[in-house]
Amino acid sequence: TMKLDAKLLRYLSSEEFRILTAVEMGSKNHEVVPTPLIAQIAKLKSGGAHKILGELAKHNLVARVQNAKYDGYRLTYGGYDYLALHTFAVRGSIHSVGNQIGVGKESDIYIVADDNGTQHVLKIHRLGRTSFRAVKSKRDYLESRKSASWMYMSRLAATKEYAFMRALHEHGFPVPTPIDQNRHCVAMSLVDGVPLTHVAEVADVGQLYADLMALLLRLAAHGLVHGDFNEFNLLVREVDQKPVLIDFPQMISTNHPNAKEQFDRDVECVKTYFRRRYNFDATWWPEFDRDVARTVDLDAAVSASGACKLTKRQQRELEQFLLEKRAEDDGEVNEDESESESEVESDDDEPTPAAADSPANIEQIGATLQRIHLDQAARLGNS
């Protein structure tokens, strides 16, 4: 049974919705959005805005922040999730949200259903969750300081992921069917299969290995390197044990300075996994310099097209963020960096996702929505 009916999202009163949207709009220029500005954007009297903000804060859709300069609010994960789900509900791409099937370090994955009851997958990007320190400390590279936020980075990741999923799908690559994207969320088809890491036995190991290497080469022939081609991002279809590739935010062009390194890393990843897990000793594997022959410029086509919706600068910011994060995950953070980190941490006007936001979860939003609905019903009944 579906836990949250996305249609319930409509029960937020129009004033509450206007205020929530105003907080989001205000966040584009303010790390903490001053209450009077929220009222102004929402075109409400500040007394009224104040009261509604209190309600929204009670339900974790916004959070009150008091700092030295002024009082204000920021959007929480919950509020951002709400707005994205609301958009999907209005478009009819998501009707209800069911079980969570994955918690990545950088995402939450849910089973959802559309208006026709067809099941899909919802991926909610959460780039700030484990690496917000990275966002803050590494923000020097960000060409604009205000963009160094979890919300911004997660939106860039979702936007890029959707653009590449569409392009790959159109070119016949084995990837999920893209369905919709909004803010930090991507909706896609549910693959009937499991990640390679859960496949204990493969009927034809040599064949699967060959399929995977062929997939890497075919991507490269289209000008693309996946960059995270591992047993968690390769699903194996139930029906024929063919691979389906997922997880695209870190994808780069074969013209990128890191292309060879990442391609070789992808190859090595498969080789090592097959040796360790399936006792398969490969006698052949592709090499970037020898075997990559570009025939289609899908990399340029996607990043230059309107489909990607990211500016060159945003693409650079996301890429830089993901590279820094990977370095951090690999334990390559050096002393200098950790020092500047603590320096930055004391710079406290920048909102961080508070403990209350995380775990941001859909169940909580579901409960929130129902409470708001009941509160409203009660208010109507009393008047």
- Separation CA 217–CA 294 (nearest Å): 9
HSE-up (13 A, CA, CB side) for residue 270: 28
C-beta of residue 206 within 8 angstroms of C-beta of residue 236: no
Residue 154 contact among ligand ADP, Mg ion, none, beta carbon within 5 to 8 Å by kind: none
> Binding to Mg ion by residue 149, rule CB under 5 A?
no
Block residue for tokens 């025939």: 295
DSSP per position, 22-41: HHHHHHTT-SSEEHHHHHHH
**Choice from 188, 216, 236, 252 touching ligand ADP (CB under 6 A):** 188
Residue identified by tokens 């069917």 is 177
Which range, of 52-60, 140-148, 194-202, 231-239, touches Mg ion by CB under 5 A? Answer: 231-239
Q: Kindly state whether residue 307 participates in binding ligand ADP, applying the rule CB under 6 A.
A: no
Q: Does 247 bind Mg ion (CB under 5 A)?
A: yes
Site string for ligand ADP, 332-371 (x = CB under 6 A): ----------------------------------------
Q: Which residue, 174 or 351, has its beta carbon nearer to Mg ion?
A: 174
Member of 35, 107, 154, 303 binding ligand ADP (CB under 6 A): 107
CA–CA separation, 2 vs 87, rounded Å?
A: 19
**Does residue 307 contact residue 163 with C-beta atoms inside 8 Å?**
yes
Q: Kindly report the number of other CB atoms within 10 A of residue 268's CB atom.
A: 12
How far lies 110's CA from each of 60, 107, 165, 294, in Å?
Answer: 20, 10, 18, 36
The stretch near ligand ADP (CB under 6 A) out of 57-65, 187-195, 316-324, 328-336 is 187-195
Known catalytic membership, residue 228: yes
Burial class from Cβ neighbours inside 10 Å (0-12, 13-18, 19+) for residue 192 reads exposed
Please state, in angstroms and rounded to a whole number, the distance separating the CA atoms of residues 120 and 123. 10
Q: Which among 81, 114, 180, 228 is annotated as catalytic?
A: 228
| Of residues 52 and 362, the one with the C-beta less far from ligand ADP | 362
Q: Which two structure tokens, joined as six digits, stand for 298?
A: 């899908």
**Euclidean distance between CA atoms 262 and 243, whole angstroms:** 20
Determine the interface stretch with Mg ion among 130-138, 148-156, 242-250, 313-321 (rule: CB under 5 A). Answer: 242-250
Q: Does 191 sit near ligand ADP (CB under 6 A)?
A: yes
Min CB(380)–Mg ion separation in Å: 45
Q: How far is the CB of 257 from ligand ADP (least distance, A)?
A: 23
Contacted by 191, from Mg ion, ligand ADP, none: CB < 5 to 8 Å by type: ligand ADP
The distance of closest approach from Cβ of residue 199 to ligand ADP in the complex, given in angstroms and rounded to an integer, is: 12
Structure token pair of residue 132: 């917000």
Q: Which is nearer to ligand ADP, 41 or 186 (CB)?
A: 186
Q: Which amino acid is residue 219, in one-letter code?
A: L
Say if residues 77 and 85 touch (Cβ distance below 8 Å): no
Is 197 in contact with 231 (CB distance < 8 Å)? Answer: yes
322 binds ligand ADP (CB under 6 A): no
Q: How far is the CB of 182 from Mg ion (least distance, A)?
A: 20
For 17, 95, 230, 247, the CA distances from 117, given in Å and listed in that order, are 27, 8, 32, 25
Cis? peptide before 257, omega within 30° of 0: no
Q: Site map for ligand ADP, 213-252, x if CB under 6 A? A: -------------------xx-x----------xx-----
151 to 180, contacts with ligand ADP by CB under 6 A?
176
* Region for residue 349 given its phi and psi (left: phi exceeds 0; alpha: psi -120 to 50; beta: otherwise): alpha
Minimal distance, residue 249 CB to ligand ADP, in Å: 7
> CA-CA distance, 247 to 301, in Å (whole number)?
19
Region from 1-9, 106-114, 280-288, 342-350 binding ligand ADP, contact rule CB under 6 A: 106-114
Question: Residue 150 or 288: which CB sits closer to ligand ADP?
Answer: 150
List contacts with Mg ion (CB under 5 A): 232-233, 247
- By annotation, the residues acting in catalysis are 228
List contacts with ligand ADP (CB under 6 A): 101-102, 104, 106-107, 109, 121, 123, 176, 188, 190-191, 195, 232-233, 235, 246-247
